[in-house]
Amino acid sequence: MKMISQTTGRRLAFFLTACTMLAGCGKKEKDSKQPDQIHEVVRGDFNIVITATGFLDAVKRYIIEAPATSRQGLDIIEAVPDQTVLEKGDLIVAFSDEDYLQELEDQTIKIEEAEKNLLILQQDYQMKIADIVSSIKSATDSLRVSKEALEKYVNEDAPLEKDTLEQEQDTARQNVEDEKQNLASLKDDLLSTSMGDEEAQLKIEDQIEDSELKIEELETKAEKASYNLRIFKQYTFPQQSRKLEQNVVKAEMDLQKQLVNSTAQRVQLEGKIQTQERLIRSLKQQKDILEKNISMLEIMAPVAGTISYGDPNPRRRTQQQKEIIVGTTMNRREVIGSIPDLSRLIVNVDIPEISRSKIDTGMRAEMRIKALPNLHLSGVVEKISDMATNVNFWDKSSPKIYPTVINLDQNDPSLRPGMTVEVDMISEVISDVLYVPIEALFVKEGNVFCYVKKPVGLEDRQVTIGRSSSSYVEIVEGLKEGDQVLLSREES
């Protein structure tokens, strides 16, 4: 039978003790006590859940923004009330255009003057180009020759020399191996020679001696070949390539110096031209934005739906939101509100860092809506942020959370974005076990007990517990299916 560890038992015993103390704090007087409840022990499944609070949100929102104007503020002259039901193309907000028309005229005059100044600078620039080209030609040719010499050595000469040295090394090593095989053969012949044939033995011994001397000579040659290859790799090639690279660097520096010296006036004039071109582009861009936004000062609904004013980001809802009414000034691209697509809703949940390891995508979740207590929803964890963020994004010392998205299995016409949702994510399903409500257990002298109903009276029975949730506890030993336990007991 499965047993739990002493540590787990002590933790649950502590938890049960705390529950008992809390229950005692809230007990009524004896004359108002409720009768004890009986629970029948069953075998089945119960869930271990992670509980969190989230908010309903739409999968898709059409964000309504103030237009990007050349001015800091836009003054609202007309606005529909918040939560107005709109058809596509209906007016949401209208802004004043009184100041923008004058600004557009001023912008046009600035552009004309800037273009005249640019034309003068470009004419001066063309006169300097001919002098600059000839002064850098010789430096460019020198750089090209240096680069060609480096490329030829690195890609042709050096690889060829390296291949030659490697071939000499391989040949020398092969000669050593061949002679060693010859020596081994001579030694075999010596062993096989008849003991009485002294002349043959002497001859083979002389051959063995000659072979051993030859091996020494060949090994010396092999070492020299390896040395030559190593010297090439470690010294000759690096030094020669470095020298050629230094020649290239020197040529580049000479060219750069020539460019700096010969084109000082050109660079200065180019800088003025570029500055003037940037000014013109900026002026034209501001004019385009003005023209575009003058035609967009009336904000229309892009789709049919209900307008909800304010930033739809749930983590920014605690900040003060502007009231969208006549007279309010909006900044460029400031969020006015949004029109949510109610056909598909999700739940945004911030999971504390301590609970991140207990959840995963695909995990089931059961949900309750505070505003709709009779409505129960279910869903699945669809996405968990890869990186933690701070609860307050402006406060790096605030607790870290993992933004999580739960996809709903069903929809309901009464659901609205922003509703508070109590979420129970099913971390684990404890299957086919005996379990009782946590209220049935109590701690006495460091052990866990429950009261079991007998035909006459109650039995004080010690039990061994296993895994637990916030509501139920697995019973490993001490109870059997069908036993009846007391859920509340009178304090002794």
Same domain, 324 and 215: no
Backbone angles phi, psi at 309, to 5 degrees: -75, 150
Range of the domain at 40: 6-59+342-486
Same domain, 359 and 470: yes
CATH number at residue 365: 2.40.30.170
Same domain, 245 and 374: no
Residue with tokens 């291949």: 163
Give the domain-ending residue among 253, 271, 289.
271
Domain count, the chain: 3
Indicate whether 255 belongs to any domain: yes
Give the domain-ending residue among 339, 359, 389.
339
Indicate whether 276 belongs to any domain: no
Indicate whether 291 belongs to any domain: no
Residues of the chain with pLDDT under 50: 1-9, 11, 13-15, 17-34, 490-492
DSSP one-letter string for 399-434? PEEEEEEEEES---TT--TT-EEEEEEEEEEEEEEE
Measuring CA to CA, how many Å separate 32 from each of 27, 35, 71, 440? Answer: 9, 10, 71, 21
Indicate whether 284 belongs to any domain: no
Same domain, 257 and 108: yes
Indicate whether 292 belongs to any domain: no
CATH number at residue 177: 1.10.287
Q: For residue 16, what pLDDT is reported?
A: 53
DSSP structure class, residue 457 = S
Same domain, 191 and 235: yes
Same domain, 16 and 145: no
Give the domain-ending residue among 285, 320, 339.
339
Same domain, 178 and 41: no
Same domain, 158 and 236: yes
Indicate whether 290 belongs to any domain: no
Indicate whether 132 belongs to any domain: yes
Residues 115, 117, 121, 126, CA torsion sign: positive
Same domain, 265 and 123: yes
Q: For residue 27, what pLDDT is reported?
A: 35
Cβ atoms < 10 Å from Cβ of 224: 13
Same domain, 325 and 408: no
Q: For residue 8, what pLDDT is reported?
A: 45
Indicate whether 323 belongs to any domain: yes
Same domain, 301 and 361: no
Let me know the angle formed at the C-alpha of 154 by 158 and 238, rounded to the nearest 5 degrees: 75
Q: For residue 70, what pLDDT is reported?
A: 58
CATH number at residue 77: 2.40.50.100
Q: For residue 100, what pLDDT is reported?
A: 79
Q: For residue 25, what pLDDT is reported?
A: 34
The reply to whether the predicted model has a pTM over 0.75 is no
Q: For residue 279, what pLDDT is reported?
A: 95
Helix axes 98-152, 237-262, angle to 10 degrees: 140
Same domain, 305 and 257: no
